[in-house]
A = this chain, B = another copy of it.
């Protein structure tokens, strides 16, 4: 083919030449979403009450620890000074304190941590996870009927009682992760009946994922029988995920969450295109943390670079807030 013939085959539509929007770093930045600010980070922490073993390593969650409720302020203060503004508290209790109804949740280590934090760091926003699984002997997120099915309504009532105590002790936001039906509506109704204005962050779209391994070590919350497929979402179902988010919005959720983040960025994207009009939070789960951490260690990529790429993805998809085990690292990485 002759050179001049080839010239005539080159497209002439100026708008299709995109490199002009990428020639300068500032242009690339202007065409991109902004990174999370420090105040958009929530650090998930596991609280325990074991006076003998106060800083507990967590299997597959390197550089993260279970923290004693009386040490939590010392851990948080330096991070608060770096810009940390919000935490999510989970509990860890020994098997011996568990029962079928998770009774220990009414007065557990998280209650004590809330009291301690509110006293010393009153401006730090405390999110409290709300679920039975760290407290039940069977490790499930609800209580059961005699026929082996979940008793949805009874579970709602227990969750409500736990939530009221957490609020009494200082919780600013209640974040139910239990996946029972209509828990948002119940909690909002309950709080209002008690003249409380505590917001609710809904784990609205929580999948039955393989990404929770290290978390279950951290919380000691693996189910002792069966699985959670009847109350956590099927992996392939965009429909049920969106129905769950819409349900929670309709029942009054103040913030909605997608969990895990990775593999579910399409769900964040779908949520951001809907008219939900409240912040969308992603949970960068323990499996994601471990996966990025160990792969970087292996040399697959640079940890800080891939972490920024990952967070960029959450922002691009429409995420407002992020729950991340990397929060202490990010407080240094984000300026």
A interface residues (Cβ-Cβ under 8 A, vs B): 1, 3, 5-7, 9-35, 37, 39-40, 60, 85-86, 123, 125, 145, 149-153, 156-157, 160-161, 164, 172-173, 181-182, 185-186, 188-195, 197-200, 209-211, 213-214, 229-231, 233-240, 242-244, 247, 249-252, 254-255, 262-266, 268-270, 273, 275, 277-279, 287, 290-292, 294-295, 298-302, 305-306, 308-310, 312-313, 315-318, 320-321
A91 to chain B minimum Cβ distance, whole angstroms, is 23
A315 to B173, CA, bound (A): 27
Candidates B14, B86, B251, B270; contact of A26 at CB < 8 Å:
B86
Which residues on B sit within 8 Å (CB–CB) of A194? 1
Given contacts A10-B153, A252-B14, contact A240 B21 (CB under 8 A): yes
The residue on B at minimum CB distance from A180 is B19
How many copies of this chain does one complex carry? 6
Candidates B30, B236, B254, B278; contact of A315 at CB < 8 Å:
B236
Further pairs besides A11-B251, A28-B229, A149-B195: 8, Cβ < 8 Å: A14-B188, A20-B199, A20-B200, A24-B125, A149-B197, A213-B299, A263-B265, A265-B265
Pairs across A and B, CB under 8 Å, 21 listed: A1-B194, A5-B193, A9-B186, A10-B156, A14-B189, A17-B192, A19-B230, A20-B197, A20-B254, A24-B172, A28-B229, A31-B240, A32-B234, A34-B34, A34-B236, A60-B300, A236-B315, A243-B278, A264-B313, A291-B291, A294-B295
B32 x A34 contact (CB < 8 A): no
B313 x A240 contact (CB < 8 A): no
Which residues on B sit within 8 Å (CB–CB) of A263? 262, 265, 309-310, 312-313
Which residues on B sit within 8 Å (CB–CB) of A34? 34, 37, 236
Which residues on B sit within 8 Å (CB–CB) of A213? 299-301
A300 x B291 contact (CB < 8 A): yes
Candidates B3, B210, B230, B302; contact of A306 at CB < 8 Å:
B210
Which residues on B sit within 8 Å (CB–CB) of A29? 39, 234
B199 x A27 contact (CB < 8 A): yes
A86 to chain B minimum Cβ distance, whole angstroms, is 6
A268 to B7, CA, bound (A): 33
B22 x A240 contact (CB < 8 A): yes
The residue on B at minimum CB distance from A263 is B313
Given contacts A26-B125, A28-B237, A210-B305, contact A15 B251 (CB under 8 A): yes
B265 x A199 contact (CB < 8 A): no
Given contacts A27-B254, A265-B266, contact A240 B18 (CB under 8 A): yes
A125 to B24, CA, bound (A): 8
B11 x A185 contact (CB < 8 A): yes
The residue on B at minimum CB distance from A303 is B210
Candidates B238, B247, B318; contact of A33 at CB < 8 Å:
B238
